[in-house]
Amino acid sequence: MTVSESLGAALVARQWCTPEVPILWACWQEGTGYRVPGYDSFGHELPKKKRGSIAGAVGGFLADAALTAVFGDGDDHSGTGGGTGFKADLRVVGPSMDCTSVRLYHQDFPHTHNPVKQLWVLTPGRLTVLIPLSEDSDPKPKPESSGGWRDLLHKQEEYGLNQPGEPVPAWRITPWFELPLNEITHCQVVGPKRKPHHHCGLEFSDRSGFVLDARTPRSAEIMATTINQQRGIRG
């Protein structure tokens, strides 16, 4: 047994890719929220009297004027999901539920796997979303300890012991859906105006799309630049 953390996104993605395929970018996304007029952050239809609250989410959502509709009133969309009490790294944005982003996200997935945690992987010509086996992604209970760090030092056989050369278990993943790069019309770093921009937005021709939390501004920049290069658009 080892007490090392799980493998990073690129290393987990490597078990899915063939050896000759380079991984250009990879990032985990956990939790999803919707920004679709007439629906709440969970994708549930809103009562008629509340349906005008996110109308700004439609039509070219990567424009500056639409950022409030995606992120809320200047707040980061991750963490609390815009005040809805759930964590959402990923936003599905569109003018209606019958749009490219929603149709992609609503594709069937193996019920043995967990779509709440997703691995987004960019390889040459492909942007693929993979999901882990449910038993791998479910949090494992930690052993109870009353002695704190003292127990960890003196009861290593109970809490785990790092063994040199012991493999770190990798999550078992499978593809869920693939995004058509030729249908992405716009990709750029986006974010609330009062915070560092560490999100990447992808927009399709029907003005729907996805907003991902890339964790850092540099990672978001790399993702946007690389996707644009794959689409044949540099800069």
Strands 184-190 and 199-204: antiparallel
Q: What are phi and psi of 170, to 5 degrees?
A: -100, 145
Q: What is the mean pLDDT of each run of 10 residues along the chain (235 residues)?
A: 56 87 92 90 82 49 50 43 64 92 92 89 92 75 54 52 65 89 88 76 91 91 91 60
Task: Determine the pLDDT at residue 19.
Answer: 87
Strands 209-213 and 90-93: antiparallel
Task: Determine the pLDDT at residue 119.
Answer: 94
Task: Determine the pLDDT at residue 102.
Answer: 94
Q: Which amino acid is at 205?
A: S
Nearest to 30 by CA among 77, 75, 70, 74: 77
Contact 94, 209 (CB under 8 A): yes
CA 221 to chain centre: 15
Task: Determine the pLDDT at residue 81.
Answer: 39
- Tell me the domains of the chain and their CATH numbers: 9-133+173-230 (2.30.29.30)
How far apart are the two ends of the chain, measured CA to CA in Å?
A: 46
Contact 35, 125 (CB under 8 A): no
Q: Strand order of the sheet with strand 126-132?
A: 25-30, 117-123, 126-132, 173-179
Supply the pTM of this predicted model: 0.75
Nearest to 209 by CA among 78, 129, 93, 36: 93
Region of 109 please: left (phi>0), alpha (psi -120 to 50) or beta.
Answer: beta
What is the torsional sign of CA 78, 83, 87, 92?
negative
Task: Determine the pLDDT at residue 87.
Answer: 77
Q: What are phi and psi of 66, to 5 degrees?
A: -100, -5
